Amino acid sequence: MSRVAIAGHGTYGFGSDTNGRSDTEMVLEASMAALESANLSHEEVDSIIYTGQDAYDGSAISDGQRVSAAGGYRKPFMRIQNGGGAAIHQAVAKINSGKADVVSIVAADSVYADPRVLSWTSHEALYHRTIGQNNDQSFGLLATVHQEERGVSDETLAQVAEKNYRAAANNDVAHRQEAYSVEDVLEADRVVGPLTELMLRPNSFGAAVCVLVSESFAEERGNARSWITGTGLATGKYWYRDMSGRLEQPTLQQAASTAFEEADVTIDDVDAAEIAAYSPTLEMTSYEAIGLCAEGESSSLIEDGVTAPNGSFPVNLSGGPLATSPPNAGGIYRAIAASQVIEGDLGDGSAERVLLADNDMHLGEPGRTDAVMVLEGGAA
Amino acid sequence: MADELDPSVQTDAINAEYKYPFHWDLDFSLNIGEDNRKFFEGMEEKRILGKKCPDCGATFVPPQAVCVECYVETDEWVEVEQRGVVESYTACFFEFEGLPEPPYITAAIRVADSDICMLHFIDGIEYEDHDELVEKLHKGTEVEPVWADEREGHIRDIKHWEPVEK
């Protein structure tokens, strides 16, 4: 497979509000910043992919309202609803198929709505909406299984959150930038089961844009910030009906396996990861799914500080979704953060290869699509 | 635009900060299909129905039109025993719109020998706090349905499930 480069990226935010900016203004600012960092003009962009969901945008066909700000007029413009990772995966396919040399991937979050209503409005109506299945309850069900089957303590769950907040304190675009302690996390308001408010993600606002270019284009322009050398995508069934298998995250396993194979590496060749984990349980079981440790042994990684910001395999040097979680822009932002780890702008600058794992779990787990990418450094 | 909006969406400072509130108020109707119709008709008669896969023999409660593993149409209806086991549960301490006053418990319940779970409420447990609940409810706890006196072919025809007294 030819390599695809992340040539540029830009963000607006993130925070608990848009600071008075509209979606169009945020998309425009982030897009212009991304193009500038890629040393590209708007005319050179071949195609735009927008990722977002109508319910979180407050309007139907919401991509149509962002075409102009994204620089998409007179260009192929498509929309993907199930997450930034899937959109990046599609952009890589578009470039590798020869359909484009330069693709801009765009997302924004600007509308405030009660997430506890919205999350189950987006779910299957027939059984679950009336019963109250929503994102937080989905994470609570999983946390209970995790504790009962793997013996994970509340303190360990809190340690996962603490190390993410420690990282976010050094990230000036993170939504939550306070380095909460384990005690802070445990003493926060309880929401579902063992999970407190600080073990669950905030609803963040802002915008993120990432510009991907083909290998030949990057070599010609010398503008590669990092390289996507492997990609994987996998979709699974309605897992909350099958609790026993959920801790194994088979779709993440499958997507990671495909990405590793394509990049011709194993987890041993990877230095760090950015993982879309919307609760401590999901982060810990992700360690096991990507092969960082054996099944049921993720607690020791936390206790030994392996995945902490100063550990030997830091996970979520951006702070991860517990610190910053825009529903539409989260996947793109995590790709940007993964690239920043390669570029030396997050962490100690020593990572040469980073795993990016995104999914559509911010709504809970009515279904599941995982997108995994391997990012590497190296000159264009 | 609605006259009054839920304060949770922060519409109290509308004009001062140039925030313009808006509201989606759309009514929808959904044809639930033959399988679900039959399932809910059974609920009205205090019966719990499922469907079986002709290839692997898996039973699905609630019924599914297709076996998720074999990708074949399920074809045999079965009435299952009104017992289930808790696969997971969570106590909810935050108020969600349209749901019971917290705390309340949502559980993934495997009914009879179903290959999948259904989601419902667990009640009939006395507890003071989360720690006490954790001691009383576990994966594998046997539960049975408590039916509503008035039923209308709806998932809430079962008011809730509660642990089986032994």
- Touching check for B71 and chain A: CB below 8 Å? no
Look at A120 and B96 and tell me if their CB atoms are within 8 Å: yes
- Residue of B60, B69, B119 best to disrupt the A interface, most CBs of A under 10 A: B119
pLDDT at res. A82: 73
pLDDT at res. A240: 60
What ipTM did this prediction achieve? 0.79
Name every residue in A having a CB less than 8 A away from some CB of B. Answer: 20, 58, 112-114, 116-117, 120, 125-128, 130-134, 136-137, 140-145, 148-149, 189-194, 237-238, 240-244
- What single-letter amino acid sits at B76? E
Nearest to A147 by CA among B106, B121, B109, B138: B138
Are residues A242 and A226 in contact, defined by beta-carbon separation less than 8 angstroms? no
- Touching check for B39 and chain A: CB below 8 Å? no
Closest by Cβ to B89, choosing from A113, A141, A237:
A141
pLDDT digits (tens, 9 = 90+) for A319-349: 999 999 999 999 999 999 999 999 999 999 8
Look at B94 and A136 and tell me if their CB atoms are within 8 Å: yes
Closest by Cβ to A190, choosing from B93, B99, B117:
B93
pLDDT at res. A299: 96
Look at B88 and A192 and tell me if their CB atoms are within 8 Å: no
pLDDT at res. A42: 92
Q: What do you get for the CA distance between the two ends of chain B, in Å? A: 55
pLDDT at res. A126: 56
Look at A20 and B18 and tell me if their CB atoms are within 8 Å: yes
Q: What is the dihedral of CA A364, A366, A367, A370, to 10 degrees?
A: 0
Look at A243 and B116 and tell me if their CB atoms are within 8 Å: no
Q: What chain B residue is nearest to A16 in terms of C-alpha separation?
A: B10
Q: How distant is the Cα of A244 from the closest Cα of chain B, in angstroms?
A: 8
Q: What chain B residue is nearest to A119 in terms of C-alpha separation?
A: B96
pLDDT at res. A281: 96
- Where are the alpha helices (H) located in chain A, listed in sequence order? 23-37, 54-57, 84-96, 115-121, 130-131, 135-150, 154-168, 182-187, 215-221, 243-246, 250-263, 280-289, 298-303, 320-323, 330-343
pLDDT at res. A380: 61
pLDDT at res. A122: 65
Tell me the β-bridge partners of A359.
A370
pTM of the model: 0.91
Are residues A371 and A231 in contact, defined by beta-carbon separation less than 8 angstroms? yes
Region B138-154: mean pLDDT is 94
* Full strand arrangement of the beta sheet holding A47-51: A77-80, A47-51, A102-109, A205-214, A4-15, A226-236, A368-376, A353-359, A272-275
pLDDT at res. B165: 81
Chain A residues touching residue B117 (CB < 8 angstroms): 240-243
- Residue of B94, B134, B141 best to disrupt the A interface, most CBs of A under 10 A: B94
Q: What chain A residue is nearest to B107 in terms of C-alpha separation?
A: A141
pLDDT at res. B1: 40
Q: What chain A residue is nearest to B133 in terms of C-alpha separation?
A: A193
Q: Which residues of B126-138 are buried (b: 16+ CB within 10 A; e: fewer)?
A: eeeebeebbeebe
Look at A112 and B156 and tell me if their CB atoms are within 8 Å: no
Per-residue pLDDT of chain A (380 residues; tens, 9 = 90+): 679 999 999 999 899 988 888 899 999 999 999 999 999 999 999 999 999 888 788 888 888 888 989 998 989 999 998 789 999 999 999 999 999 999 999 999 998 877 667 766 666 555 545 565 678 888 898 999 999 999 999 999 999 999 999 999 999 999 999 999 999 999 999 999 999 999 999 999 999 999 999 999 999 999 999 999 999 999 887 656 667 678 889 999 999 999 999 999 999 999 999 999 999 999 999 999 999 999 999 999 999 999 999 999 999 999 999 999 999 999 999 999 999 999 999 999 899 999 999 998 776 665 788 999 999 997 66
Q: Which residues, including other chains, have CB under 8 Å from residue A183's CB and lie 6 or more apart?
A: none
Are residues A265 and A230 in contact, defined by beta-carbon separation less than 8 angstroms? yes
pLDDT at res. B116: 87
- Per-residue tokens: B76: 């045999």
Q: How far apart are CA A326 and CA A15, in angstroms?
A: 9
Tell me the β-bridge partners of A233.
A371
Q: For residue A305, with 0-12 CB atoms within 10 Å meaning exposed, 13-18 middle and 19 or more buried, which class applies? A: middle
Strand A47-51 with A77-80, pairing: parallel
Query: Three-state SS string across A5-63, please?
Result: EEEEEEEEEEECCCCCCCHHHHHHHHHHHHHHHCCCCHHHCCEEEEECCHHHHCCCCHH
Look at B97 and A114 and tell me if their CB atoms are within 8 Å: yes
Among A73-87, B29-43, B44-58, top mean pLDDT goes to B44-58
pLDDT digits (tens, 9 = 90+) for B124-145: 888 877 778 777 898 899 999 9
Chain B residues touching residue A367 (CB < 8 angstroms): none
- Touching check for B99 and chain A: CB below 8 Å? yes
pLDDT at res. A210: 98
- What single-letter amino acid sits at B125? I
Nearest to A16 by CA among A118, A106, A109, A83: A109
- Residue of B25, B60, B96, B101 best to disrupt the A interface, most CBs of A under 10 A: B96
Q: What chain B residue is nearest to A137 in terms of C-alpha separation?
A: B90
Give the helix/strand (H/E) hosting A227: strand A226-236
Strand A353-359 with A272-275, pairing: parallel
- Per-residue tokens: A229: 């050398």
Residue A141: other Cβ atoms inside 10 A:
28
Q: Cis bond leading into A14, ω under 30°? A: yes
pLDDT of residue B81 exceeding 70, the answer is: yes
